[in-house]
């Protein structure tokens, strides 16, 4: 397989999209980017599922991209989350996005239609042909209804601008097989926040982690310590973090994350868009207790 020039590793953040009174909250979005520029984040992903991309119209998506790109000032790579079950529509969206300031695309497998492997291969081949920018495939069968098999993925990895995978296959045997068989230039990043430590131990290059909105440096430290050979230190760091993903995914994402960010003043509102709803009072109390236990300063 070919060696790819665009290497993804470390922590990539699928950025939440702040809303205020039903509209895109540009000021909060800008503030988030300024905040995470100071954190050990390798890149940002806009309008992905954590960013409620399926609820954004095209003008909102474009405005979010320009807001993030301007706030990042070229210091942090920006990728765009893209998904859909009509290959022609996805290709068209990417052709339009090629004029926007994005470094590449995170593209989910088609959902609901459950194509066979040949259909998946042709789908991603057409997407890669629509751009000269890097494409990262997002495999999450428990949401899409279809699993991208390793043989299909490794065939797609022969395409020069298909550079990596966000791995949420939920099958450690499949993940380990991929890590053994992939080329040295093909990146595998876990998207399973609760399995981050194990994924890095087994050889994943990093993670695309919604939970890393919180305790960002601590997530990065787990990988850094493992890369230095300090497994005991990494395990201790992970043990201090491991309850956080469970808490932040106790109700549909990104509502718990937005609640935490709102409580700390990083965003103006915890609003989400239907069908996602804001966190329950019970979960809000648990998040408040966790913030107190971690000594997190709350907004006035």
The 10s digit of each residue's pLDDT in 270-288 is 999 999 999 999 999 999 9
Domain that holds residue 115: 10-241
CATH number of the domain at 89, please: 3.20.20.70
Q: Is 46 helix (H, G, I), strand (E, B) or coil?
A: strand
Q: Which of 172, 263, 168 is nearest to 214 (CA)?
A: 263
The 10s digit of each residue's pLDDT in 151-201 is 999 999 999 999 999 999 999 999 999 999 999 899 999 999 999 999 999
The 10s digit of each residue's pLDDT in 71-120 is 999 999 999 999 999 999 999 999 999 999 999 999 999 999 999 999 99
Q: What is the pLDDT of residue 156?
A: 98
Q: What is the pLDDT of residue 300?
A: 57
Strand partners, 269: none
Is residue 257 assigned to a domain?
no
CB-CB contact of 261 with 33 (8 Å): no
Whether residue 166 lies in the annotated active site: yes
Q: Which of 211, 187, 175 is nearest to 136 (CA)?
A: 187
Residues 6+ apart with CB under 8 A from 128: 135, 156, 159, 161, 162
Catalytic option among 138, 197, 258, 259? 138
Catalytic option among 6, 112, 142, 166? 166
Is residue 203 assigned to a domain?
yes
Is residue 294 assigned to a domain?
no
Whether residue 66 lies in the annotated active site: no
Is residue 274 assigned to a domain?
no
CB-CB contact of 152 with 117 (8 Å): yes
Q: What are phi and psi of 163, to 5 degrees?
A: -110, -10
Strand partners, 206: 10, 189
Is residue 4 assigned to a domain?
no
Is residue 60 assigned to a domain?
yes
Number of domains in the chain: 1
């Amino acid at each position: 397989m070919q060696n790819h020039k665009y290497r993804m590793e470390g922590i990539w953040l699928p950025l939440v999209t702040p809303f205020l009174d039903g509209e895109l909250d540009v000021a909060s979005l800008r503030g988030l980017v300024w905040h995470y520029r100071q954190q050990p984040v390798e890149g940002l992903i806009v309008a992905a599922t954590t960013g409620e991309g399926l609820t954004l119209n095209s003008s909102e998506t474009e405005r979010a991209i320009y807001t993030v790109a301007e706030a990042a000032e070229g210091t942090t790579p920006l990728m765009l989350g893209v998904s859909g079950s009509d290959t022609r529509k996805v290709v068209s969206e990417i052709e339009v996005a090629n004029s926007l300031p994005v470094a590449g695309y995170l593209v989910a497998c088609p959902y609901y239609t459950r194509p066979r492997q040949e259909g998946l291969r042709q789908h991603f081949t057409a997407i890669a042909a629509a751009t000269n920018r890097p494409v990262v495939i997002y495999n999450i069968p428990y949401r899409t209804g279809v699993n991208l098999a390793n043989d299909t993925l490794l065939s797609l990895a022969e395409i020069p601008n298909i550079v990596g995978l966000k791995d949420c296959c939920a099958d450690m045997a499949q993940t380990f097989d991929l890590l053994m068989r992939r080329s040295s230039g093909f990146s595998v990043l876990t998207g399973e926040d609760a399995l981050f430590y194990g994924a890095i131990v087994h050889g994943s290059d990093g993670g695309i982690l919604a939970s890393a909105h919180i305790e960002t440096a601590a997530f990065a430290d787990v990988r850094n310590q493992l890369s230095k050979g300090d497994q005991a230190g990494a395990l201790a760091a992970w043990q201090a973090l491991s309850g956080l993903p469970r808490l932040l995914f106790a109700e549909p994402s990104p509502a718990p994350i937005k609640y935490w960010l709102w409580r700390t003043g990083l965003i103006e509102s915890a609003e989400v868009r239907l069908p996602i709803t804001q966190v329950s009072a019970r979960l809000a109390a648990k998040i408040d207790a966790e913030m107190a236990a971690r000594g997190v300063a709350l907004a006035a």
